[in-house]
């Protein structure tokens, strides 16, 4: 009996030692941190787009050679007199973690830049950090479709914001505006937008109802993404399925955050609601789409279906 217990004890001990060996990780070399002049921008496409747009100051480029695109970006920086430093991939990862220490894996593609920050362009207030005017939009041709603007209410997730900016730019939205609580135009937003943030000015407004009311007076339609059956506050709002949506006049599309939705004072300015019907019966707890997905569906239908007055 004693021999059996001893054998069992040794078996458990060996198992624990094996688990400890499997869980043990060799300690990595301590990360080296750099003193940055601005913020981190990582990924070949965001850095390349930032250089093309010329809205940021590039203080230094850290790179790991290995691709033609990387060498092209390095050459561009060297031609502009930007300091370029070769760093191994782990070193680049360490630099990225200075910007986001909670993210496990940064897809820097062997390129990280120390750049100046991007700010929202204020529409009804001033910011001392914003010294440049927004990029000039070319005049609209006489036969072009009505303009579409996008108003985002308290969309705080940088991945959602970046995805929406990329979608809006690609599908032809003329202006992206944010209001309420908003996230910074960080490297995470730029990476999520695949660099589109670098060429897309993002505006900010504090008094969104005033902006919307003034646009309604100018003949614009204020369209909001809503639920098919909504609360009592917007029960009287006329709404249509996204399949019936078309661009008949200048339009501002309003989207709310997934947590708090569209504020009441903004909903009071909305003239039309649009909803996306589910493809089948869904659980009542899953009653909507991610805001970036909903934005893509509505913007695509809105910008691709234009009705011209005869």
Report, as an integer, the average pLDDT of 194-219: 96
Task: Quickly list DSSP for 195-263.
Answer: TGGGGS-EEE-S-HHHHHHHHHHTT-EEEEE--SS--GGGTTS-EEEGGG--B-S-EEEEEEBTTTBS-
pLDDT score for 230: 62
Provide the mean pLDDT of the chain: 84
Range scoring the smallest mean pLDDT among 65-69, 115-119, 163-167, 193-197: 65-69
Top pLDDT among 48 and 308 is at 48
Distances (CA, A) of 222 to 177, 183, 218, 248: 14, 24, 11, 12
Helix (H) or strand (E) holding 113: strand 111-115
**Per-residue pLDDT for 5 more than 70?**
no
Q: What is the pLDDT of residue 227?
A: 86
| Rounded alpha-carbon distances, angstroms, from residue 136 to 118, 139, 267, 273 | 17, 9, 30, 31
The burial class, CB within 10 Å (0-12 / 13-18 / 19+), for 98 is: middle
Q: For the stretch 128-141, what's the b/e string if a residue is b when 16 or more beta carbons lie within 10 angstroms of its beta carbon?
A: eeeeeeeeeeeeee
> How sure is the predictor about 301, in pLDDT bands with cuts at 50, 70 and 90?
very high
Look at 282 and 211; give whichever has higher pLDDT.
211
Buried-state track 31-40, b at ≥16 Cβ within 10 A, e below 16: eeebeeeebb
What integer is the mean pLDDT of 270-279?
Answer: 91
Q: Is pLDDT larger for residue 260 or for residue 56?
A: 56
Query: Is 13 a residue whose pLDDT tops 70?
Result: no
CA distance 253 to 95: 38
pLDDT band at 130 (very low <50, low <70, confident <90, very high): confident
Which residue in this structure is represented by tokens 């909001």?
Answer: 224
Our measurement of the distance from residue 69's CA atom to the centroid of its chain's CA atoms, rounded to an integer in Å, reads 24
What pTM, to 2 d.p., does this model score? 0.83
pLDDT value, residue 14: 56
How far CA 23 is from CA of 11, 30, 88, 137, 295, in Å, comes to 18, 20, 27, 56, 43
Q: What is the pLDDT of residue 21?
A: 47
Task: Quickly state the pLDDT bin for 104 (edges 50, 70, 90).
Answer: low
Non-local CB neighbours of 143 within 8 Å, separated by 6+ positions? none
Tell me which of 235 and 282 has the higher pLDDT: 282
Find how far residue 120's CA is from the centre of its chain.
Answer: 13
Task: Give the pLDDT of residue 161.
Answer: 96
- Distance from C-alpha of 288 to C-alpha of 262, rounded to nearest angstrom: 14
Question: What was the pLDDT predicted at 7?
Answer: 59
pLDDT exceeds 60 at position 95: yes
**Identity of the highest mean pLDDT range in 29-43, 137-151, 209-223:** 209-223
Residue 194's CB is within 10 A of a number of other CB atoms, namely 17
pLDDT value at 107 more than 80 = no
Q: Which residues contact 147 (CB under 8 A, 6 or more apart)?
A: 140, 174, 175, 250, 251
The pLDDT assigned to 274 comes to: 94
Q: Per-residue pLDDT for 271 more than 50?
A: yes
Choose among 168, 192, 188: nearest CA to 178. 168
The angle that helices 158-171 and 291-304 make with each other, rounded to 10 degrees, is 10
What's the token pair of residue 240? 């249509």
In sign, the C-alpha dihedral spanning 281, 284, 285, 287 is: positive
Helix (H/G/I), strand (E/B), else coil: 156: coil
Which residues, in sequence order, are CB contacts of 34 under 8 Å at separation 6+?
A: 95, 98, 114
Per-residue pLDDT, averaged over 271-299, amounts to 88
pLDDT at 75 over 50: yes
Question: 11 vs 219, which has greater pLDDT?
Answer: 219
Q: Is the pLDDT of residue 25 over 50?
A: no
Q: How much is the pLDDT for 283?
A: 79
């Amino acid at each position: 009996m004693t021999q059996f217990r001893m054998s069992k004890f040794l078996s458990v001990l060996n198992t624990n030692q094996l688990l400890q060996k499997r869980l043990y990780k060799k300690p990595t070399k301590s990360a080296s941190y750099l003193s940055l002049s601005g913020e981190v921008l990582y990924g070949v496409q965001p850095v390349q787009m930032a250089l093309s747009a010329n809205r940021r100051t590039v203080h230094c480029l850290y790179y790991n050679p290995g691709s033609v695109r990387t060498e092209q970006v390095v050459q561009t920086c060297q031609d502009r007199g930007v300091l370029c430093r070769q760093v191994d991939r782990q070193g680049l990862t360490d630099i990225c973690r200075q910007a986001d220490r909670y993210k496990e894996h940064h897809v820097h593609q062997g390129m990280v830049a120390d750049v100046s920050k991007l700010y929202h362009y204020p529409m009804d207030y001033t910011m001392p950090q914003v010294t440049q005017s927004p990029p000039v939009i070319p005049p609209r041709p006489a036969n072009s479709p009505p303009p579409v603007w996008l108003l985002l209410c308290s969309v705080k997730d940088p991945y959602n914001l970046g995805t929406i900016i990329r979608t809006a730019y690609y599908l032809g939205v003329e202006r992206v505006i944010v209001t309420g609580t908003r996230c910074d135009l960080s490297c995470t937003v730029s990476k999520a937008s695949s660099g589109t943030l670098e060429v897309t000015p993002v505006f900010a407004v504090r008094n969104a109802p005033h902006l919307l009311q003034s646009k309604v007076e100018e003949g614009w339609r204020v369209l909001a993404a809503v639920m098919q059956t909504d609360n009592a506050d917007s029960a009287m709002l006329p709404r249509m399925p996204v399949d019936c949506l078309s661009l008949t006049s200048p339009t501002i599309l309003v989207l709310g955050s997934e947590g708090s939705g569209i504020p009441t004072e903004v909903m009071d300015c909305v003239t039309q609601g649009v909803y996306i019907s589910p493809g089948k019966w869904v659980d009542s707890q899953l009653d909507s789409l991610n805001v970036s997905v909903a934005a893509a569906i509505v913007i695509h239908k809105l910008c691709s279906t234009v009705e011209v007055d005869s």
